[in-house]
Structure 1
Amino acid sequence: MDNLGIVFLSELVGTALLVLLGCGVVANVALAKNKGVGGGFLMVTIGWGLAVFSGVIVAYNSGAHLNPAVTLGLVASGATEFGSGVPVNAVSVLAYIGAQMLGALLGAVFVWLAYKQHFDQEPNPANKLGVFSTGPAIRSYGWNLVTEVIGTFVLVFVVIAFGGGRQGESGGLAALGALPVALLVIVIGTSLGGPTGYAINPARDLGPRIAHFLLPIKGKGSSDWAYSWVPVVGPIIGGLLAGWASAVLLPILA
C-alpha cells in the first residue's frame, strides 16, 4: 500500500505537470494578447512533447504512465507488475487512472490561473475550449475515432516495444525514457495530429474538459460534450490493441 500511495502521488503530479505545460502552450498560442499568439501547430506540438518529457521525469517512480491508455495497454500486454513493484490488479489500475484524471484536472486549473486575464479578453469561446481539450478539424465522429485509435496505438506499441515487451518489469513511458518519449509524442503530433489534435490520452482530454465545464471562465461557451467521448474511447481502444499486438508480435520480431 505504501508503494501504491507513491504511485498515486507520482502519477498525479506528473500528469498535472504534463497538462499544465501542454495546455499552457496552447493557451500561449491561442488566447488574445499573449506573446506567443499565432505560434502555430508546430509550436504546440513541440510544447506538448516537452510537456510529456517533464511529466515523465517527475513521475519516474511510478513508471510514468500519465495516460490511462498506457496503463490499460500494459495490462493488455500481459504485464504482471507495474513500475516500483506494484502488481497489476484492479486496485492498482484504478489508482493509476484515478491519479491521472485528478492530475489532469488540477493541471488545467493552474493553466486557467496562469492565463486568467487572457481568457477574460479572448472573444472566441472555441479558442478557450481549445486550450483545455481537443477538437476535430473535420467533425466526423467515426473517422475522428479512427485517427485517435491509430495515434494511440503508435504511442503504446512503441513504448512497449522499446521495453522488449517486458512491461511488467519496467512499465510505462519511463521504460522508453523521457527524451525518446517526448520525440515520439512530437512525431505523432506532426504526422497524425492534424485531424483531431491528437489527444492520445483520455485523462489529458477529459480532465481539462471537466475543468473547463466547472471553472468560471468568462464567455466560455460549450464544453462540447457531444465530441468528448471520441478522445476517451479512441485512445482506450488504441492502447488495448497495442497491448494485445505487442503480446503477439514482439516475441516473433525479437
Structure 2
Amino acid sequence: MNVLAVSPAGIFGSEFLGTMLLIVLGVGVVANALLPKTKGHDGGWQMIDWGWGIGVMVGVFAAYRTGGHLNPAVTLGLTVAGVDLAPGIPATFANVSLYIGAQLLGAMAGAVLAWLVYKQHYDLECDPSLKLGTFATGPQIRNYGWNLLTETIATYVLVIWVLLSGYTNVAKITTADNIQEISGSLIGPLGVTFLIMGIGNSLGGPTGYAINPARDLGPRIVHALLPIKGKGSSDWAYSWVPILGPILGGVLAGLTYLIFW
C-alpha cells in the first residue's frame, strides 16, 4: 500500500476549498432562513441543521486528500492524540499551521460568497442581530461560563467521534494490477453529516453550536469588514467563546484518545 503524498500547496488548497464549500453552504442556509424575502424565510432549525450537515459532507469530500478536517479543533485534537492529520501527513507544527491557516481563510472566502448570493437581502432593513446571526453564532442566554462549557462539550463529541471513526483515512491509494486508485469509506463523510445534525439538535440550542473556531471567527471577521447595510455590532465580546470552547473540546478529545486508546 502506498500513501498519497500531499505538498504544502496541496494541503493548503485542500483544506481551503473544503472549508470554503462548508461555509458558503452553512452561512447560505442561515441567510436563507433568517433574511427577509428569501424563499426559505422562517425555514426553522431543522432546515439550518440540514444545511450545515450537508455543508460538512461536501467539504469533507472536497478536502479528502487532507482528511477533510475543515476545523482547527479537529486538527488540534488529532495532534494531541498523536496521530497523523491524514495518511502521509504527520502532525508537525508546519502542517498544523497550514491546516489552520487554510481553514480560517477558507471560512472567510465562503462567507463572502454567501454574502454575494444574498447581497440584495442583506441590503433590506431587518434586525441587525439576524444579519450577524447568518455569519456567526451567539447565545440564547448570555452567560460566558455556561456558553463556553456548551461549546466545549459539543466539540468534544465531534472530535472524539472523528478519532474513533477514523473517517479521515480517505486518502489511501491501493495498487492492484498496477492500477492506482483512491480508496476510502464513503460512510465517513455521510456519518459526520448526521453527527453534525445530531449535535445541532441535541446540544446546539444554547449557543448555535459553532464547534469550529474557523467557522465562527472567519465569517465574523467578514461581517465586520463587509459594507452590509444596518449590520450593527459584530459582537466581539462573545467571539472568544466559539474559539476557546471548541479548542478545549478538541484538546480534551485528543487527550481522551491518547490515554485510553
**Same fold by TM (over 0.5)?**
yes
- Aligned match of 2:144 in 132, 136, 141? 141
Deviations 1:46-93 (A, max 9, x none): 1100000110110101111100000000011012x3225122111111
Return the alpha-carbon distance in structure 2 between the equivalents of residues 157 and 248 of structure 1: 12
Measure how far apart 1:2 and its partner are: 5.7
Among candidates 80, 86, 102, match of residue 76 of structure 1:
80
| Alpha-carbon displacement from aligned partner over 1:4-23 (angstroms, at most 9, x marks no partner) | 21011000010000000011
- 2:155 maps to 152
Matched, 1:52 2:56: yes
3-state secondary structure, aligned to 2:231:
coil
Q: Say whether 1:100 aligns with 2:103.
A: yes
Q: Residue type matched to 1:37 in 2?
A: H
Output the amino acid matched with 1:149: T
Q: Indicate the residue corresponding to 2:8 in structure 1.
A: 4
1:98-247 aligned at under 5 Å gives the runs 98-163=101-166, 177-247=188-258
Does the 8 Å contact 2:107/2:214 carry over to 1? yes
| Structure 2: gaps (5+ residues) | 173-184
> TM-score normalised to the size of structure 2?
0.90
Give the match's secondary structure for 1:226.
coil
Match of 1:34 in 2: 38
Moved over 3 A (4+): none
The alpha-carbon deviation at position 161 of structure 1 amounts to 0.8
Q: Distance in 1 between matches of 2:30 and 2:106?
A: 18
Partner of 2:181: none
| Cα shift readout 1:98-130 (whole Å, capped 9, x = no counterpart) | 000000000000111000000011421001000
Structure 1 residue 163: Cα displacement: 2.1
1:187-246 per-position Cα deviation (integer Å, ceiling 9, x unaligned): 000000000000000000000000000000011000000000000000000000000001
User: 2:28 maps to which residue?
Assistant: 24
Instruction: Check conservation: 1:128, 1:220, Cα contact below 8 A.
Output: yes
CA distance, structure 1, for counterparts of residue 21 and residue 125 of structure 2: 24
Q: Please state how far the C-alpha of 1:177 moved relative to its aligned partner.
A: 1.3
Structure 2 CA distance for partners of 1:238 and 1:220, relative to 1, 3 Å? same
Instruction: Determine what percentage of the aligned residue pairs are the same residue.
Output: 57
TM-score (structure 1 length as normaliser): 0.92
Question: Which has the larger displacement, 176-185 or 123-132?
Answer: 176-185
Which structure carries more helix by proportion?
1
The 1:2/1:63 distance shift into structure 2, 3 A limit, reads closer
Stretches of structure 1 lacking an aligned partner (at least 5 in a row): none
Contact 1:163 1:175 (C-alpha < 8 Å) held by counterparts: no
TM-superposed CA distance for 1:183, in Å, is 0.6
Higher strand proportion, which one?
A: 2
Tell me the amino acid that sits aligned with residue 79 of structure 2. Answer: V
Bigger Rg, which one: 2
1:13 to 3, 17, 38: 17
SS of residue in 2 equivalent to 1:85:
coil
